Amino acid sequence: GVNDQVEHAVELAELLHEWGRGHHVNLIPFNPIEGSDYQRPYKKAVLAFAGALESHKITTSIRQTRGLDASAACGQLRNEFQKSPLRIDSSNSSSESDIAVAS
């Protein structure tokens, strides 16, 4: 519901045509992850988006979904023990002994 509507696809196609020819768009549906307000689009919406691009002569691929069971795909890799990114205190210089690593 953020950027998966047909009108978004038409806008994208128009932008790509302004930049020349030979573009290929890989559509990668969002994998739902805990703590995110974003939701995975319905298959029908993805197909309509791809169809709109293709009708505007933009070659399009829909990537196969992988990583749903691990909350991982397209930069969304997470693990269950780390819910937020590690932070480094800029006031202290760190050494290897300051860094904890889970195994």
pLDDT in single tens digits along all 103 residues of the chain: 788 899 999 999 999 999 998 999 999 888 777 788 888 889 999 999 999 999 999 999 998 776 555 555 454 555 554 555 555 555 554 444 344 444 4
The pLDDT score that the predictor gives to residue 98 is 45
Per the rule left: phi > 0, alpha: psi between -120 and 50, beta: everything else, 82 is: beta
Structure tokens at 97: 């002994």
pLDDT of residue 78: 52
Residue indicated by tokens 């994208």:
12
Tally of domains within the chain: 1
Q: Please check whether residue 42 lies inside any domain of the structure.
A: yes
Q: Pick the closest to residue 43 from 71, 63, 16, 73 (CA basis).
A: 63
What pLDDT, on the 0 to 100 scale, is given for residue 32?
78
Predicted pLDDT of residue 90: 57
**Domain assignment present for 98:** no
Residue 94, domain member (yes or no): no
DSSP code string of 12-73: HHHHHHHT-S--EEEE-PPPP-TT-S--PPPHHHHHHHHHHHHHTT-EEEEPPP--GGGT-S
Whether residue 91 lies inside any domain: the answer is no
Residue 86 forms part of a structural domain? no
Q: Please check whether residue 26 lies inside any domain of the structure.
A: yes
> What's the pLDDT score for residue 5?
94
The pTM for the full model equals 0.65
Report if residue 85 sits inside a domain.
no
Residue 38's domain spans which residues?
6-62
Residue 92 lies in a domain: no
